[in-house]
Structure 1
Amino acid sequence: MKIISTNIAKPKTFTWQGKEVTTGIYKTPTDVPIYLDKEDVKGDIVADRRVHGGEFKACYLFSFNQYPYWRHLYPNLDWTYGMLGENLTVEDLDEKSICVGDIFKIGEAIVQITIPREPCFKFAHKFKSDDVIQQFIERGHSGTYVRVLQEGEVKVGDTFQLIEKSKEDISIFDFFGLLFAKDKNMSHINVLLQSENVPERHKKRLRFFSR
């Protein structure tokens, strides 16, 4: 896996259901390295810290390989890297291969895979489509958030070095599918409930699924 683009955003405001909303989803490529902090990416706007940023969502990664699919669906959008709201556009990032808890070194930083990204109304607004949320769910390639174990700079061209493979063995692809599947994989739920790499907010949902 290799970084193709590093992306950050300035705050952007739009009106949603009569209310003014600020978002950091409109990310654009940088021409300099970016710094991964423990809570977020330095210089990147995090508009709503209830659902973005923090230990388990310090940085969002999305696959360069998924761009042709989305460009084909939405050819009239103004396409740049960062279009899916990611801080790092990563070549050969495969959600079926990376697992919750995997640890990688990238540039100066060391990161750990945590949870998949879930689409929201801000994502739909950016794509100018109410259908894009369901399309994103059905596609299954959600990208992934990471926690930052060691802060540091990362830049275009940096490659991912696997430091430690997770013993939990649940892929981000399976985790994402679990959140929306009608028939839940209870063994996966039980593993994720015991994981130190899953935030309590997600564990509450998983406990609800296991009732």
Structure 2
Amino acid sequence: MANPSYILENILTGKSVPFGPKGQPSAIGKKPVSGRLEITSLGFTDDEQADPRHHGGPEKALHHYARDHYQTWLDQYPDINPNSLNVGGFGENISTTGVQEKDVCIGDIFKLGSATVQISQGRQPCWKLNVRFSYPKMAVVVQKSGRTGWYYRVLDEGAVQQGEQLTLIERPNPEWTLARIQKVLYVDTLNKRDLQSLSSLKELAENWQALVQKRLSRLEVEDWSRRLETPD
């Protein structure tokens, strides 16, 4: 059986601009680009991340968001401004149809153009989504829905352009879909057996390993309010 492959319907980049109630810089607004883009260990060369503490870096070099989710948001949340629900709205660098969080696993390795990338973690929604979509609870509902998207680390640098393929070449953790991980982190939050198993995944991003270890040691769930609630 051939490995699954997906067409890169869009590749997207963005620049940092003032954003939010205090004009904090953000590059969440990504726009489709044409032509061949270089992929380094930090992602597309023409892309920016305004908050390197929480975005970007080797473990979050590229963000992938399922194009399929946009119609679901339009159908389920009519209060959200439909003009904001366009590809790039979630800050994604890669847009495809036919692959979602239930279909990918931590550690999955893909060929992306001439580069090789690996899924490192899911996206943790933050309050900037509330501002982006003019919907005060957007970060909360994204987290609850599991429609978060995911990040890649770059194993081999290369280049890619719109219309090329994203092809799965290796799956070391088939039992750990991103959807399952989200259930552990946000629903069944103190399941010690699953947390211990998750903490042993060497392909999981270091910051998520640390989060899981802290939860195990304290046997309590971290406070999400600062991440999910828009600052005054």
Fold conserved between structures, TM > 0.5: yes
* 8 Å contact from structure 1 (residues 14, 21) kept in 2: yes
Q: 1:120 aligns with which of 115, 126, 134?
A: 126
Match of 1:52 in 2: 55
Shift of 1:194: 2.0
Match of 2:92 in 1: 86
The 4+ residue runs of structure 1 with deviation greater than 4 A are none
| Amino acid paired to 2:10 | S
RMSD: 1.8
Report the TM-score when normalising by structure 1. Answer: 0.91
| Amino acid paired to 2:43 | D
* 8 Å contact from structure 1 (residues 33, 155) kept in 2: yes
Distance 2:87 2:20 in 1: 25
Greater shift after overlay, 141-150 or 171-180? 171-180
Match of 1:165 in 2: 171
Are residues 1:63 and 2:66 paired? yes
SS in 1 for 2:102: coil
Are residues 1:149 and 2:155 paired? yes
Shift of 1:40: 2.4
Match of 2:136 in 1: 130
* 8 Å contact from structure 1 (residues 60, 88) kept in 2: yes
Shift of 1:132: 0.8
* 8 Å contact from structure 2 (residues 20, 131) kept in 1: no
SS in 2 for 1:125: helix
Match of 2:46 in 1: 43
Distance 1:76 1:162 in 2: 33
SS in 2 for 1:187: helix
* 8 Å contact from structure 1 (residues 8, 45) kept in 2: yes
Distance 1:71 1:4 in 2: 20
| Amino acid paired to 1:37 | T
Shift of 1:189: 1.9
* 8 Å contact from structure 1 (residues 95, 141) kept in 2: yes
| Amino acid paired to 2:143 | I
| Amino acid paired to 2:48 | I
Q: 2:23 aligns with which of 15, 20, 33?
A: 20
* 8 Å contact from structure 2 (residues 117, 156) kept in 1: yes
Shift of 1:204: 2.1
Distance 1:94 1:180 in 2: 18
Distance 1:92 1:185 in 2: 31
| Amino acid paired to 2:18 | T
Unaligned runs of 5+ in 2: 1-5, 218-232
Are residues 1:184 and 2:190 paired? yes
Distance 1:89 1:60 in 2: 9
C-alpha spacing 1:79/1:142, structure 2 compared with 1 (3 Å): closer
| Structure 1 residues 64-122: Cα deviation after superposition (integer angstroms, max 9, x where no partner) | 11110123323432443211110001111221121101111121111111100011111
